[in-house]
Structure 1
Amino acid sequence: MMTMWDELFRPLEQIDFVPATNIVKKDDEFAVVLAVPGYTEEQLSLSIDENVLEIRAQGAAPSENEVYLRREIRQLPFRYRVELPERAQVDNISAELKAGLLTIRIPLQPKKVIPVKILGNDATKSIEA
């Protein structure tokens, strides 16, 4: 059984890593932004399965020619999953890696507006679906 002390001092490679993430929803777009400094486009991959976006990264192995006196910057493998809204247009997703941020933009289909006539009232109302 692992004690709290063991948990605090286990090697970093054994810790489940998830990068800092922002998820932003606008009227016409859903964006996922991950902080992935140092990762290259070749290390990152995206996939969608049943309306779930999955972002994966391969870690970078330290160079055998380097001797670290201190090593705090690591590129660990990770897997991050987020469920997309029903209105997501998964065929039009774009991704950009810039200044250590991976920004994935998912356009949203316009909301449907359905005119509704309320019985006993002459006014027609609209509701969003």
Structure 2
Amino acid sequence: MNLIKTQSYFPTIFDEFFKDNWNINLTNDNFVSPSYNIKENDKEFVIELAIPGKENTDFNIEIQNKILLVSVNDENKNSNYTYNRQEFGFHKFEKSFDLPISIETNKVTSYYRNGVLTIKLPKRKEYQNTAKQIVEVKN
């Protein structure tokens, strides 16, 4: 008895029609990129990446030329198991974000809790919203 669902290597017309994103082949098992949220308030941007099963030391976060690069590479970690199917977890990935000029790059912080990597990107003081200004529309 086989517990692993087999999948044809040849896509059907229905595979193309029911894809979530027609520009990316999401049925490819090699495509790994974590889901993420980007939030903003008056003082900072916050990026949250859903990356389960990691440790703080598994992450590399770099900023160069206004590009934030987040990567993980733990392919060499030993495991007592061989996966027959794996639908979550990332052994290797890179994700980059273009940063606006408003970010104070030397004050970026990050932490990892409960499977979520959070990166806080503070805004420079001159870009922080202090008071809302209403502009009147005239005839």
Normalised TM-score (structure 2): 0.65
5+ long unaligned stretches in structure 2? 1-8, 13-24
Question: Any conservation in 2 of the 1:16–1:78 contact (CA below 8 Å)?
Answer: no
Letter in 2 for 1:23: I
Measure, in 2, the Cα distance between the counterparts of 1:98 and 1:112: 29
- Which residue of the partner structure matches residue 58 of structure 2? 43
Larger strand proportion of the pair: 1
Per-residue Cα deviation, 1:40-78 (whole angstroms, up to 9, x for no partner): 112111001111100001134562x43556544443300
Per-residue Cα deviation, 1:72-119 (whole angstroms, up to 9, x for no partner): 444330000001111100000100000000000010012369xxxxxx
- Which residue of the partner structure matches residue 4 of structure 1? 11
Letter in 2 for 1:4: P
* Number of residue pairs aligned between Structure 1 and Structure 2: 110
Q: Which portions of structure 1, spanning 4 or more consecutive aligned residues, are displaced by more than 6 angstroms? A: none
CA-CA distance at 1:27 after TM superposition: 1.3
SS at match of 1:106: strand
Measure, in 2, the Cα distance between the counterparts of 1:20 and 1:47: 19
SS at match of 1:39: coil
Letter in 2 for 1:80: K
* Larger gyration radius, structure 1 or structure 2: 1
Relative distance call for 1:98 and 1:8 in structure 2 (3 A) is: closer
What pairs up with 1:36-115 in 2 under 5 angstroms?
A: 36-60=51-75, 61=77, 63=79, 65-66=80-81, 68=83, 71-111=86-126
Measure, in 1, the Cα distance between the counterparts of 2:26 and 2:124: 46
Among the aligned pairs, what percent are the same residue?
24
- Which residue of the partner structure matches residue 22 of structure 1? 37
